[in-house]
Amino acid sequence: MVYKLGTDIDLIMSNLEGISFHDQKVLVTGGAGFLGSWICEVLLYQGAEVICLDNLASGLKENISHLIGSDKFQFIKHDISEAISFDENIDIVIHMASRASPLEFEHYPIEILKANTIGLMVSLEIARAHGSRMVYTSTSEIYGNPQEVPTPESCYGYVNSIGPRSCYDEAKRCGEAFVTAYSAQYGLDSRIARLFNTYGPRMRADGIYGRAIPRFIDQALSGTEITVYGDGSQTRSFCYVTDQIEGILRFASMDAARGYVVNIGNDLEISILALAKKVLDITKSDSEIMYQPMPSDDPIRRRPDITRAKELLRWEPKVDLNEGLFKTIEWFKGA
């Protein structure tokens, strides 16, 4: 099978049937990243006008280069931590700008903190100036090592404020506090999506950008050792990109979702060792598993409670892990 991204875009469009962003102007910060570029593309198909802002720190121009030239799409290379304003009216701001890979936490902690605090404040000021709806993409990382699994939105989390992941975890927690404060003080129409591990085409596997799934696929396809940290018993719950994008856009579109925080992810929990074996199995690779030390503060279990997303957004994940991995592997083969 040759993977076609257009088929997945069609799938999201059909899952979003009845929802429209027609003639809405949407600002997407981090719009050239893995998830941001999918959001921009689907919004264009939905009839929106899209302003994509990205400093290309971890995003890639090639993710959106095919959109440049459309009269409804504008790309601005800009670091959202620096002030920017717009004359034209903006209906929705989706703040997605941030590095998100644990290896980036080590190298760029200050940038990550800035993107989710100062950068988010720049986005909030734009939303305030235009009376726009604000969608903030937060993360399961705000739960740290959660006290409850499956983790509902009511969980406060258990996070080390001075650990190696704190630049991301605490920045996102502070980001949520910023959004809450802007809503309380200025009556902003806002909402917070807590995204759980998402994977799929356009995810980077290279260097510090690689997360578990793209790294394992890359290692399996190139016949190099699969690097499992610790004994691989730590768990994650992986959501295929089409499901994640559908969830975020449902959330962004609904008047009734104003003021909510919602977990968006797949609730099938799997150990990292089982994931590595699955990738080896699907790719039919001979790569060996090489165990490496467990990074400190790496969460032991992660699985969302998605009851609220099911009820409020009338959404649930549809793509099974085997199918999603298969598609992602096919995309990596062709990339």
Among residues 99, 191, 204, 215, the one that binds ligand UDP under rule CB under 6 A: 215
Binding of ligand UDP by 102 (CB under 6 A) = yes
Find the shortest distance in angstroms from Cβ 46 to ligand UDP.
29
Binding of ligand UDP by 236 (CB under 6 A) = yes
Please say which residue, 26 or 217, places its beta carbon nearer to ligand UDP.
Answer: 217
- Beta-carbon contacts of 120 under 8 Å, excluding residues fewer than 6 positions away, are 80, 95, 136, 175, 178, 179
Among residues 227, 274, 312, 330, the one that binds ligand UDP under rule CB under 6 A: 227
Binding of ligand UDP by 266 (CB under 6 A) = no
Q: Which of 108, 136, 168, 240 is catalytic?
A: 168
Per residue, what are the HEC states of 180-231?
Answer: HHHHHHHCCCEEEEEECCEECCCCCCCHHHCCHHHHHHHHHHHCCCEEEECC
From first CA to last CA, the distance across the chain in angstroms is 14
Binding of ligand UDP by 194 (CB under 6 A) = no
- For 191, the token pair is 């909402």
Of the candidates 172, 182, 79, 74, the residue with the CA atom closest to the CA atom of residue 129: 182
Q: Is the dihedral of CA 198, 203, 205, 210 positive or negative?
A: negative
Query: Distance between CA 156 and CA 151 in Å, rounded?
Result: 10
Given the rule CB under 6 A, which of 27-35, 224-232, 282-290, 308-316 is the region that contacts ligand UDP? Answer: 224-232
Among residues 212, 261, 279, 309, the one that binds ligand UDP under rule CB under 6 A: 212
Q: Per-residue string for binding with ligand UDP, 119-158, x by CB under 6 A?
A: ----------------------------------------
168 is catalytic: yes
Among residues 121, 127, 261, 272, the one that binds ligand UDP under rule CB under 6 A: 272
- For 232, the token pair is 């691989």
Given the rule CB under 6 A, which of 26-34, 177-185, 201-209, 211-219 is the region that contacts ligand UDP? Answer: 211-219
Query: Distance between CA 216 and CA 229 in Å, rounded?
Result: 12
Binding site for ligand UDP (CB under 6 A): 102, 197, 211-212, 215, 227-229, 234, 236, 272, 295, 298
Active site residue ranges: 168
